[in-house]
Amino acid sequence: MAYRIHEDRLGAAFGCAADDALLRAGLRAGLPLAYECNAGGCGSCKFELVEGEILDAWPAAPGLSERDRGRRRYLACQSLPASDCRIKMIGRGDASEAPLPERVSATLEAVEDLTHDMREFRFRTDRPANFLPGQYALLSLPGLGSLRAYSMSNVANDTGEWHFIIRRVRNGAATSLLFDLRPGARVTLDGPYGRAYLRTATARHVVCIAGGSGLSPMIGIARGLDRLGPPQDGSFDFFYGGRSADDICGEMMLRDLPRLGGRLRFHPIVSNEDARWAGRTGMVHELVADLPDETFSRADFYLAGPPPMAEAVVSLLARGRSVPAERIHYDRFF
Ligand SMILES: Cc1cc2nc3c(=O)[nH]c(=O)nc-3n(C[C@H](O)[C@H](O)[C@H](O)COP(=O)(O)OP(=O)(O)OC[C@H]3O[C@@H](n4cnc5c(N)ncnc54)[C@H](O)[C@@H]3O)c2cc1C
Ligand code: FES
């Protein structure tokens, strides 16, 4: 069963199945709706319910304040329709070059451990995998009532391959299930989503900055860049922050890239004191701060990781080094 949703800000209507979220149905219809995480955390997809009824899949989602709740505001990524509705999005979205998201069934083909808690999962779908480098998909796992976002570490392909580098979270509901999956397991995959994709039209000097599980989309950006050809100024900076020496990985994947590998400058840093670590200790934004001024004045910056890391890096770039917003690309992880 599908309901009709009218969005007042754009003056547009779209159909939304009873088991779909308003945000995702609107994006499937090609509407430029505001969003970022798709996971109830950022609050970018807030809307006001003007008429109709919705089912709130996660009433306690942190992206909504008590004040919002009192004003009939909801999160479009957590709202399922229970009738035809009229809504008004609070934020303004941008048009995207990305393919429209679809829900498809996927089979786990292989897994590979990268560190003590990071694993690459390789899924395959029956149709081509269409997405832009750096985007993410939502996985629906058997036995878990809610979706989780994971970013692709590979690039679009006709053979239907979707690769994700995923960090196991202690007692995490989704990652506990994921790390128990064996090849042959089936999941539902919904995507692609995300605004922090590689901008091909402006492929200047690119700097990638990842913290923890943010490695996956940054590897995806690097692979996408590699497909485009050598960077104009001959270098490629990749920053990766972990807690200890055991967390640092990804350099070999990057060095293997046929075009970019030889030009890579890999900058790892760990935040905890670790006797086994001979490199820099501190937070990843402290290392980024050491880049030459000319890099800040012309590079495109892509970053991914937990909100405190993203906020520290964005603050350094935007306020500390005056990098304009159109050269900073990120989707916060929640
Ligand atoms: C855009 C984006 C991209 C991401 N990409 C990656 C990636 O490439 N690799 C990676 O390892 N991690 C990634 N993450 C993080 C990932 O989605 C999970 O948050 C993480 O794996 C922990 O999930 P968990 O269920 O194991 O942990 P838990 O601690 O059980 O759950 C953590 C998260 O689940 C969500 N959640 C909790 N309860 C509910 C609910 N009732 N309904 C809906 N959501 C709920 C919240 O977002 C919460 O922060 C990404 C997150 C986002 C937003
Ligand atoms: S809370 Fe809905 S997109 Fe982040």
Give the CA distances from residue 261 to residues 68, 77, 111, 241, 242, in Å, rounded to whole numbers and listed in that order.
48, 38, 24, 20, 21
- The predicted-structure confidence for 120-133, as pLDDT tens digits, reads as follows 999 999 999 999 99
Q: Which CATH superfamily is domain 102-193 in?
A: Translation factors (2.40.30.10)
Give the distance (Å) from ligand 1 centre to CA of residue 333.
7
Tokens read off for 146: 């809610």
- The predicted-structure confidence for 128-160, as pLDDT tens digits, reads as follows 999 999 999 999 998 898 999 999 999 999 999
Q: Which of 42, 87, 90 to mutate to test the pocket of ligand 2 (most atoms within 8 A of CB)?
A: 42
- The predicted-structure confidence for 13-25, as pLDDT tens digits, reads as follows 999 999 999 999 9
CB 79 near ligand 2, within 6 Å: no
Kindly report the pTM of this predicted structure.
Answer: 0.96
* Percent of the chain predicted with pLDDT > 90: 88
Q: Do 2-89 and 206-330 have matching folds?
A: no
Question: How many CA atoms lie less than 13 Å away from 157 in the CB half-sphere?
Answer: 17
2-89: which CATH architecture? Roll (3.10)
What gap in Å lies between CA 276 and CA 236, rounded to an integer? 27
Q: CB of 119 within 8 A of CB of 179? A: yes
- The predicted-structure confidence for 38-87, as pLDDT tens digits, reads as follows 999 999 999 999 999 999 999 999 999 999 999 999 999 999 999 999 99
DSSP states of 153-201 as a string? SS--BTT-EEEEEEEPPTT-HHHHHHHH--TT-EEEEEEEE-S----ST
DSSP states of 116-133 as a string? SSEEEEEEEESS-B---T
Residue (of 105, 103, 121, 102) closest to 113 by Cα position? 121
CB 33 near ligand 2, within 6 Å: no
Tokens read off for 78: 């957590």
Over the chain, what is the mean pLDDT? 94
> For the ranges 66-70, 80-84, 200-204, 300-304, which has the lowest average pLDDT?
200-204
| R_g (Cα) of the chain, nearest Å | 20
For residue 77, the ligand 2 atom closest to its alpha carbon is 2
| 206-330: in CATH 3.40.50.80 | yes
Tokens read off for 26: 């609107």
Domain boundaries, the chain: 2-89, 102-193, 206-330
